[in-house]
């Protein structure tokens, strides 16, 4: 176990040294496809945009169904890059079923802006579903079955530390939340504010969110999944002002810590 962790840490340090501050969108989808195929995933194209296909990656298994997403906001590249590193390093190797959507907003990622090409925030459209990206995505989610657990990777321009939302309809696990924050601590402290993004914290860096949208007509992806039967979700947020390599590393560490539970 110690040897495996040391190898993993060396790989992560090598990856960080190679991360540029510029996100290579044209090269991202081919790179992810290559890594996913090598890891035993199969592709599913569930839609298209002028900047690239809407791609999901599936790996069948007999255990719990886990779904991870990133790139719903085009100015948050650390999430897609973290999923690429997790794929390359074999994080999705156990017997469970895996579903990944690494780039939910191709036009936004191509432009480096939060919204899609039509100026809409996709992560507020999972109730009304007026955008073609979200319409296609929710159709795909229903067709493949709602996951048992969900992890979404985001960034926040207003934060100085790491924080996350947890929606949990099952057993309370404060030890899991603390393990996530401890895993991220080499790169970021927990966000210090007692109110984060208008939400009261349970503990520093940890928002224990009900399975209800803050604005009833503006569901994010996590609320859509909770309302459709996903019992556990995490939304990880790294500070956008920090170096990209640190943000990627923090997401990788947080995902690994969450998956260990």
The model's pLDDT over 131-144, given as tens digits with 9 standing for 90+, comes to 999 999 999 999 98
**Token couple for 179:** 């393990």
Question: Which residue segments constitute the domains of the chain, with CATH numbers given?
Answer: 40-259 (3.40.630.10)
pLDDT higher than threshold 70 for residue 8? no
Measure the CA–CA gap between 253 and 12, rounded to whole angstroms: 10
**Token couple for 38:** 């090598």
* 67-92 b/e (C-beta count within 10 Å ≥ 16 → b): bbbbbbbbbbbbbbbbbbbbbbbebb
Could you tell me which residues are beta bridge partners of residue 156? 239
13-22, 163-172, 195-204 — which is least confidently predicted? 13-22
Residue 175, by phi and psi: left (phi above 0), alpha (psi -120 to 50) or beta? alpha
Rounded mean pLDDT of 90-96? 86
pLDDT higher than threshold 90 for residue 95? no
Rounded mean pLDDT of 142-167? 96
Measure the CA–CA gap between 76 and 241, rounded to whole angstroms: 11
pLDDT higher than threshold 50 for residue 261? yes
Measure the CA–CA gap between 131 and 97, rounded to whole angstroms: 28
- Please spell the DSSP secondary structure of 26-81, one letter per residue: HHHHHHHHHHHHHTT-EEEEEEEETTEEEEEEEE--SS-EEEEEE-SSTT-THHHH
pLDDT of residue 13: 53
Instruction: For residue range 176-235, list pLDDT tens digits in order.
Output: 999 999 999 999 999 999 999 999 999 999 999 989 989 999 999 999 999 999 999 999
pTM assigned to the model? 0.92
pLDDT higher than threshold 60 for residue 10? no
- Higher local confidence (pLDDT), 200 or 3: 200
Binned at pLDDT 50, 70 and 90, residue 94 comes out as: confident
Percent of the chain with pLDDT over 90: 85
What is the residue whose two structure tokens read 């897609």?
80
Set 115, 155, 191, 237: catalytic member: 237
pLDDT higher than threshold 70 for residue 16? no
pLDDT of residue 193: 94
Binned at pLDDT 50, 70 and 90, residue 9 comes out as: low
Binned at pLDDT 50, 70 and 90, residue 98 comes out as: very high
pLDDT of residue 14: 53
**237 tagged catalytic:** yes
């Amino acid at each position: 176990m110690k040897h495996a962790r040391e190898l993993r840490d060396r790989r992560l340090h090598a990856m960080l040294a190679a991360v540029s501050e510029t996100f290579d969108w044209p090269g991202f989808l081919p790179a992810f496809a290559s890594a996913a195929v090598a890891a035993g995933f199969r592709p599913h194209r569930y839609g298209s945009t002028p900047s690239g296909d809407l791609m999901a990656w599936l790996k069948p298994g007999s255990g719990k169904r886990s779904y991870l997403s990133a790139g719903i906001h085009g100015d948050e590249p650390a999430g897609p890059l973290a999923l690429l590193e997790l794929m390359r390093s074999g994080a999705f190797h156990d017997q469970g079923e895996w579903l990944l959507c690494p780039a939910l907003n191709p036009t936004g990622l191509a432009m480096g802006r939060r919204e899609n090409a039509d100026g809409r925030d996709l992560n507020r459209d999972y109730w009304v579903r007026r955008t073609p990206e979200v319409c296609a995505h929710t159709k795909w989610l229903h067709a493949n079955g709602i996951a048992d657990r969900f992890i979404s990777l985001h960034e926040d321009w207003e934060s100085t530390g790491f924080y996350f939302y947890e929606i949990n309809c099952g057993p309370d696990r404060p030890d899991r939340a603390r393990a996530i924050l401890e895993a991220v601590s080499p790169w970021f402290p927990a966000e210090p504010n007692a109110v984060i993004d208008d939400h009261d914290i349970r503990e520093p860096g940890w928002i224990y969110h009900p399975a209800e949208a803050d604005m009833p007509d503006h569901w994010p992806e996590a609320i859509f999944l909770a309302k459709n039967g996903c019992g556990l979700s995490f939304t990880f947020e790294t500070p956008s002002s920090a170096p990209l390599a640190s943000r990627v590393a923090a997401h990788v560490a947080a995902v690994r810590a969450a998956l260990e539970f």
